[in-house]
Amino acid sequence: MTSLTTARPALRLAPALFGATVFASATLVFLVQPMVAKLVLPLLGGAPSVWNTSLVFFQAALLAGYGYAHLVQKIASVRVQALVHGALLLAAGLVLPLKVSALLGEPSSTHPALWLLGVLALSIGAPFAALSATAPLAQAWYARTTHPGTEGEPYVLYAASNLGSLLALLAYPVVVEPLMTLRGQSLGWSLGYAGFIVVMALLGLFVARAPGVSADSARDGALAPVRWRDRALWVLLAAIPSSLMLGVTTHITMDVASAPLLWVAPLALYLATFIFAFQARPLLPREGVLMFQAAAVAGVAVINPFNNTDIVLVLFLQLAAFFLTALMCHMALVERRPDPSRLTEFYLWMSVGGVLGGAFNAFLAPVIFSNVWEYPLVLALSCLVRPWRAGSIRPWAWTLLIAGAIAAVAAPYAATLLGVGLTVRLLLAGASVAAFLLRGRALTFFAMIAVLCIAAEAVGDRVDVRQSWRSFFGVLRQSQMPVPGLGGTVKMLSHGTTLHGAQAQDPRYRCRPLVYYAPETPIGQTFSAVRAKKAAMTVGAVGLGTGAVAAYTRPGDSLTFFEIDPLVIRISSDPRNFSYTTQCAKGAVGYVLGDARLTLARQPDGRFDILLIDAFSSDSVPAHLLTVEAVRGYLRKLKPDGLLILHLSNRHLELRSPAMAVAHAAGGVAMLQQHDAAEGSPRLWESTEDVVLVARSKAALALFANDPRWTPADPTRARPWTDDYMNLVGAIYGRLQERWTWLPS
């Protein structure tokens, strides 16, 4: 065998070659995730669950890759291992260039998750799994082909792999997405995969010729067998951060938008925790991580149920709590890592934990929970990973625990008597301070956080929820409250955190549209104007909600709802819940199931007098419905004098500016109304809202030309959104400008 002395020049090049290979594979793996998810997003209504389901698929593909790497390590010859892996990379590349497979047909609204998993498997599954296997294989080869004093270095190489992953993720929304079309991205990634095969071939030649131990001798030198208790801990410590990553992503995207920019942030932080945890010398001290994690989790427990919290504070606290908790778990994982001879097995069990944590959120939780309880539940349970201190609890700690619990339990009662005011906030703040001070013991801290989460949830939700449903597309809740101005009880339908419709139960007001659809609102004004002009009208509505606009139909009118979620149709067409479509509608009402971009495209051109786009899920924006390409398609479906209504009300995004720019770029003429609810009127009677009204010609808007409530649209305030470009940061900043007047324009 060649001596280490004569092989020393080659060994000096080893770190660079191994590092380049691992970095390249990680870059490709994490560039393709948001890319493919964005390709399929428009096919499933822009739902936040598209990314979560995609992420679970990628975790499963990663597990398959790690499992394959672990099995390949059983081949005695490293040279044969390299040949096998090279053959797999070539075979997997046969599905390229990257595209969404059409073998399964159009998306299924009844089984969207299964359809999505199948499409991802056919489109990217093989190349992704092959690339994922590269990192553990390369690290195992590195341990065998370098001198004996470097046994610990493969785990540092894992940190380098995650650095490549992190840079790729950050590059996607900042560089790749703004500068390249989706077609260009797909072709570029496919070329990158071909280039990686060349890099892998060079590494294969090196490991085949390099001196080192064989796979057999590596096994012979292994340490004591790993206990199943250790494997279970690896799985658990990997599952918690994985579950939290999907939980915080759902929480953020449900109230802002389902888009790569917001997908990337939690995943990037997740990868960063691996980088920090797997360093030879940790960059962050463990005690500091534990202290700040306790503070962040206590803060999130308090603000989580409140819908009107400032978006900047929400994003900061949620992401901070997730990052610190994931880092805490991964630090504990690194403390329990085995000898490098068990490297591929360690990664395999870590990957099992990642899949189980993600699958719990994506598949099990929607079945067993009617609301998004999995996120606060796992966040609270993660506190048990903190150090368990031996010995009895001191009297001061018992006193603090009891006082904090009393404050938390008292908060909902105070809210009932006094409303959610200063007293309630002080009680919750006191309980969170008590939790922080009890952070030294995992069990007491967990108990305090659990009580705090339950109390805050009771305070944050002050409506009388009667039923709750959950589907792939979100959480729906039917609640009710007394409104004297409407004769008594009003039933409401909420999607996530946003009210999506309401109906009075008093027969005098039952068929009067409420909230965004009241006669005084821009949507109501448009329907009333077209009714006065035409004896019969044909209406299309993207997004059903409670179906309130059906009350505007007359005999001879036709209304078609385009709805992606079959659960919404079932709820709103059941008179026991809402009766707009069954008892108030005088015209014909029909439903088309599926994503509106696809189903509207099949409608005849020139069909509609009114086309209403109102498809928000919670406050999340189905951004693919607000692009130039989408609006151009809508305008083709309008009659020459037809009207397109873009409902843009949103708590976190200023959508008026991009919508006006989109309308102009699509060839339309637009008007804007920023409607304020009448002073002193019941909030459920009429709502504050933003609407952009678009037509194919200026003449079609003549009905509103002399109405001072409507103003001509200004298309110069923002760059129009397209299928290849969306500026969510600008939309968030625009909303903050309206709230914080000191921000520069």
- 3-class DSSP state of 17: helix
pLDDT tens for 428-471 read 888 889 989 888 888 889 999 999 988 888 886 556 677 888 88
Domain 13-385 = CATH 1.20.1250.20? yes
Give the helix/strand (H/E) hosting 433: helix 422-437
pLDDT in tens, 532-584: 999 999 999 998 989 999 999 999 999 999 998 899 999 999 999 999 999 99
CA 585 to CA 552: how far, in whole Å?
A: 7
CA dihedral 300, 304, 310, 313 (to 10 degrees): 20
Q: Please report the DSSP string for 345-357 in residue order.
A: HHHHHHHHHHHHH
pTM: 0.74
- What's the CATH superfamily of 513-739? Vaccinia Virus protein VP39 (3.40.50.150)
What whole-number distance in Å separates Cα of residue 47 and Cα of residue 655? 18
Q: What is the mean pLDDT of the chain?
A: 83
pLDDT in tens, 326-343: 999 999 998 888 876 777
In this prediction, residue 146 carries a pLDDT of 59
Binning pLDDT at 50, 70 and 90, where does residue 1 land?
very low
List pLDDT tens digits, range 21-43.
Answer: 888 888 898 888 888 877 887 77
Q: In the chain, where are the structural domains located?
A: 13-385, 395-460, 513-739
Instruction: List % helix, strand, coil for the chain (3-state, nearest 5).
Output: 60, 10, 30
Burial status of residue 193 (CB atoms within 10 A of its CB: 0-12, 13-18, 19 or more): buried
Between residues 4 and 456, which one has the greater pLDDT? 456
